[in-house]
Amino acid sequence: MKERLEQLRKEALEHIEGAKDLKEIQQIRITYLGKKGPITDILRGMKNLAPEERPKIGALANEVRETITEKIEKKWKELEQAAIQRKLAEESIDVTLPGRKMTVGNRHPLTRVIEEVEDLFIGLGYTVAEGPEVETDYYNFEALNIPKDHPARDMQDSFYITNDLLMRTQTSPVQARTMEKAKGKGPIKIICPGKTFRRDNDDATHSHQFMQIEGLVVDENIRMSDLYGTLEYFAKKIFGNDRQIRLRPSFFPFTEPSLEMDISCKICGGKGCHVCKGSGWIEILGAGMVHPNVLRMNGFDPEKYSGFAFGVGVERIAMLKYGIDDIRHFYTNDVRFLHQFFQKD
């Protein structure tokens, strides 16, 4: 039995040394150390040995089993490490290559325009004011010098929720609320960006929902020259330093005098083309000096304070700035359109 154990040790060590993979080494473990293996059989047969032989054979059997176990564990680690190295070689990754950046959302072109205008006016000392989109008839019309029987309401047919509540037709109510909150004490320098709503038929240049940015300045000794300088600075910063502006008389119930501002056509340089309809100028916004009635209704003394206001459509800026010919593109969420404005920030 002693010779049998030595022979098993020799055979097992040879097989372990020649094992090529983990599967083979596992099979060697089962063959020699399993419940049906030869070493187990020898230990079970020790009852048939003479009493004086049992301790010797038992000790040798345990020694052989421990030797085989140690060699198997050592070989297992070697083969496991070799398998990992082969896998790394087969699935090698060039860590010097740049990673693949995940595509994330980006700012909408209208959002870009709003942020650009906000940054411009914040740099001039203005603050950004906001107000409710569901507005009262008083703030949307009456506080802006547009009484219930005024014909100007016909141009701002809106979505009424009740007889007194409607979706605001302009961001001007924010101006009225701001002046009212100031309780007759200036100065006020605000811009009011936001959504507005009118019951228009949607086409290339009209939408039932659109964005506006309005500005308001109220203080002592505010003049038309202040408005002119502000509008010229705005036009050149947004559309380019080579843009020229012109002011035309107009009418708005909440300003007096009122005006509209045109900028020189970027396409033709003011010579006349299909974009500017041969005039060399493109209408961009409405403005004027705040009407004394508006100042008075919102708590300011028109004998002491004066001011100017202006309003521009965000879509109008974006269409001229980016050469977009249909306002509906801004609201259809067509990714082919939006992808043109993707920027890596």
Residue with tokens 């000096």: 289
Q: Is 256 annotated as ligand-binding?
A: yes
**Angle, vertex CA 321, rays to CA 318 and CA 326, nearest 5:** 50
According to DSSP, the β-strands at 165-167 and 134-136 are: antiparallel
Q: How far apart (Å, rounded) are the C-alpha atoms in residues 32 and 267?
A: 90
Helix H or strand E segment including 101: none
DSSP-based three-state secondary structure for 285: strand
Q: How far apart (Å, rounded) are the C-alpha atoms in residues 193 and 191?
A: 6
HSE value, Cβ hemisphere, 13 Å, CA-based, for 193: 17
Q: How far apart (Å, rounded) are the C-alpha atoms in residues 336 and 40?
A: 74
Nearest of 197, 177, 173, 191 to residue 126 by alpha carbon:
191
Nearest of 338, 326, 318, 333 to residue 203 by alpha carbon:
326
CB 21 within 8 A of CB 79: yes
Question: Please, which contacts does 43-46 make with residues 24 or more away whose CB atoms are closer than 8 Å?
Answer: 45/1
Torsion from C-alpha of 113, 116, 117, 118, nearest 10 degrees: 120
Distances (CA, A) of 210 to 213, 301, 313: 10, 33, 7
Q: How far apart (Å, rounded) are the C-alpha atoms in residues 271 and 283?
A: 15
Question: Which residue ranges make up the annotated binding site for Mg(2+)?
Answer: 256
Question: Which residue ranges make up the annotated binding site?
Answer: 256
